[in-house]
Every structure is written in C-alpha cells, then in structure tokens.
Amino acid sequence: MKRNLAAHIQGAVTSRRIALVWLLLFTGTALAQSSRPAAMNQAPHKAQPAKSTVSALLISDIHFEPFWDPAKVPQLAAAPASEWKAILAAATPPDQPQRFQSLQQTCRVRGADTSFPLFESSLQAVRNHAAGVRFATVSGDLLSHAFQCKYNALIPNSTPEAFRTFAEKTLTYIMGELNGALPNVPVYAALGNNDSDCGDYRLDAHSEFLAVAGKEFTRDFPSSERQAAQESFAVGGYYSVSLPAPVENVRLLVLDDIFMSKNYATCAGKPDPAAAGEQLAWLRQKLSDARASKQKVWVMGHIPPGVDLYATARKMTDICGGQLPTMFLSSEKMADVLAEFGDVVELAIFAHTHMDELRILKDSGKSAPSGRGVAVKMVPSISPINGNYPSITLAQIDPSSAELVNYQVIAASNLTGVDAKWKEEYDFARGFRKAGFTSSAVSELIGGFSADSGAKTPASQNYIKDFSVGYASPLLSLAWPQYVCTLSNYTAESFRSCACPAAP
C-alpha cells in the first residue's frame, strides 16, 4: 500500500511539473520575441548526401489570417479569391493593430497566426530556397484559429452558406498563392482540424465543402488521377496520387484525420464514427494494393497518432496513479494500420503541434512482415502563434526508394515576416549524424534519447534546441523522459508503461 501511494504521489508531482513545462513551452511568445538564438546567424551549410536525390518542400500549419486587417474583411467577403491579394496588399488603416487585438480578445485567441505580411514573406522564402523542388506537401491547417468566431464578429447576421463560401475562398487564395510561388510544381495538401466550414474539429462527410475543396486541391493533378482523387475527397477529404518523376513507383495517400480525432463532431455537433471507419477501410485497401504491386507509399495527415502530452499535462493527469493520457485520436486504429504496413509505408508526415518532432510507429502485437516500423516526420508550422519562428522544410529524397535522405529547416528571423530573413536553422544529417530519416535511423535515435534520461548527449540537446524552431528553450529537458516516451509509444498503455516503470 505504501509503495502504491508513493507511486501515486510521484505521478501527481510529475504531472504538475510536466504541465508547467508544457504551458511555458506553448505560451512562450513573449520570450520568443525577446531574442533570437545565435544559431540563426551562422552561415548556412548544406550537407551533401551521398545518394543522388531530388528535393521536395514540406510545410504545415500556415493558419493564414484573413482577418488580420478587420476593415478589409467585408471587401474580401464580396470579392472572388482572385482579387484578394490586391485587397490584402492595400494600405492598412492606423487603427488596424487595435481592431485586430480587440478581435483576438473577443474570440479568446492568444498569440497571432500568419498575417498577410508573414504569408508574403514565407512565399518569398519558398521562391528563394525551394527553387528546383519536384513537389510540395502541406500537412493541414491552412485556416487561422477561431476562424468562424472572427468571421461572425466582423460579418454579423451572415448565413452558414456565406461562411462556407468565405472559408472556401480562403483555401482557394492560399493554394493559389502557393502554386504561384511554385510554378509547374505539384502541391499536395491535406485538411486540418481548423479547415472546415462549420468550426474547429467539425466537418460533415459527403459535404459540399469537401467537394469544392477537393476540386481546388486536385486541379493540377494528372487527368488520369484527378477524378478519383476528387471523388474520394468529396467523401471524406482523403485521396491517392502518384508522386512525380523521377520518384519511382511511389504513391502519396493523404488523409483527413479530423474524422478520427477524439474531438470530432459533425456540423450538427453529433458523433459520426462511420466517417472514420470508411476512411480507414480505404487506407487499408490502398496499402494492400501497394503491397501487392510492390509500391512504396508516403502517408500524410494532420493530427498525429499517439499521446497528446500537452493536453495530458494541462489536465494534471496522474498517469502513474492509473489515469490514462489524453490521445490525439479517438482510437489507435490508424496507427495500427500504418504499423502493420511498415514494409510498404516509407514515411508518414503529420503536424498539428507546430513543433519540429519525429516519431516511430511499431506494431507491438502483429508486426509488419519486414519487422520495420514507420518513420514519422512532424512538420513545424509557418504560424508563430505558439512562439516558434515560422519555418519551411526542404527535404532530399532518394527517387528510387522514396527514402527521406535528409532535410533542412529554414526559419524566419522574426515572428511578423516584416523585413524577415530566412536562413537555415539546422540540418538533420549534420545535427544527428544520420545518413537518412529511415525507420531504423529514427528508432536508433529515439533509443539514444531513451537511454539519456538527463538529456545530456549532443543528439538530445540538438533535439531540444530545435523542437520549437527559433526558440531554443531548455524547458523541454525538464520533462524529457516523459516526452521521449511519446516518441515510440503510440498506445495509452505502452506510454504509461514507459513513463511509469514498475517500482523495484
């Protein structure tokens, strides 16, 4: 009884400490604005992979803020997306900061998302740094936080149809600008939990919104694949497409995993487990087809599987006392499917946390035929709302194997985009001494983190430094053992076993 009580007390203390660490990490905007790490001033140094590679651009969590200048919103609502740039680029009135701050307070939003100046700065960074990429991925959350609240505050008495049109036009504008910055380069985008016509984490399957968004997201796909992609997108926001030459025999499966989120509801506020089930059945079939035809697959979604340590900490969850952690998704089914097909899935791309993270998905029960796990790259955000500096990621890919050989994170020098300089923040291969972002390399890296409970090794220190891009906070080191448990334990029980080892 004393041992159980001691474990319970220790678990509660640990939960409070992690909660404090996480709240500081994710509300660090003021600290992040006060200084810029010296690493940003270092001359960039491009690692030269031994393999012949092609380049790709990975971006996420743009969270574009069309409400940044509230005075322009009625104009935007009345104009087609093709006229938005001219409206947004026009001079702002003197009271813009005060009006936007009032809007943020009305909708209870802390921090700021991607303003028009920051979006323009990020597009210029894409032009400067991503010239020559063969394709780009956008792993969700194109729309700003509290999107519907801000719209309703500025355009009262509007209709659901008018709001849906505004959300659709915002997506069209964002995708149009990305395509303009990357001419003749395919851009593959996923929807995130904010990308909806009826509120955060709310969406209807088989909806007009999905049909319209699907046509926009797939408009430049090859004619042989466009119709099928649009049809599946209209069902549930998911689609399949071949990665472009010279990447060989590789498919990208894009998910809309809002339907799998524990927070998901329809626009009417009701649960709809059928939508997630339909998408998971589609995913399994596509992976089975790829295995049969000896194809490699990349999978991209927005919300990652596994433990949401931030939400767990905020709730002061006593993990070691028997309480379960908060999970990102409503079940482990998606992760189970991906892990089962570890011989097929070369890479999984997620985002959502706004941080630069990695994961490994391994099936602890029925292993994939090859025994491989699935390497997960979580892409940091352009939005600086959590205090992180805006960033884009340049990836080098082996076209014959679809392996992610290396990547560099390119970050802005400030949070506003005004007069910002975009420079290399770090290089994966150089920082972690790995020859590729493979399942074995990621597993080995996480194993090293697990053995380094005090976060003392160069690899652990580099990860902590780059976790929140441009904001080199040491706070993550205080919750390092618990955080590391999230990297390779995607089930609630395996995470608890890792974070709360049995007392001797």
Q: What is the tens place of the pLDDT at every residue in 171-201?
A: 999 999 999 999 999 999 999 999 999 999 9
Instruction: Say what angle helices 160-181 and 208-217 make with each other, to 10 degrees.
Output: 10
The pLDDT of residue 501: 79
Kindly report the average pLDDT of the chain as a whole number: 89
Is the pLDDT assigned to residue 225 strictly greater than 80? yes
Mean pLDDT across the stretch 456-474?
A: 89
| pLDDT (average), residues 455-477 | 89
The beta strand positions in 379-447, using DSSP E, are 391-397, 404-412, 422-427
Bridging pattern class, strands 391-397 and 404-412: antiparallel
What number is the average pLDDT over the span 390-409?
Answer: 97
| pLDDT of residue 488 exceeding 80 | yes
Compute, in degrees rounded to 10, the torsion defined by CA atoms 284, 221, 347, 202: -60
Give the SS3 label for residue 159.
coil
Confidence of residue 21 (pLDDT cuts 50, 70, 90): low
The arrangement of strands across the sheet holding 187-190 comes to 187-190, 135-139, 54-59, 391-397, 404-412, 422-427
Q: What is the pLDDT of residue 20?
A: 56
- What is the predicted pLDDT for the residue at 49? 45
End-to-end CA distance of the chain: 14
Average pLDDT over residues 235-258: 97
Whether 116 contacts 417, CB under 8 Å = no
* pLDDT 10s digits, 65-90: 999 999 999 999 999 999 999 999 99
Count each helix (H run) and each strand (E run) in the chain, helices first: 18, 12
pLDDT of residue 475: 79
What structural domains and CATH numbers belong to the chain? 2-499 (3.60.21.10)
Task: Name the nearest CA neighbour of 431 among 37, 4, 45.
Answer: 45
Model pTM score: 0.90
Alpha carbon of 418 to those of 124, 192, 378: distances in Å? Answer: 12, 27, 26
- Predicted confidence at residue 27, as pLDDT, reads 52
Rounded Cα distance between 208 and 168, Å, is: 10
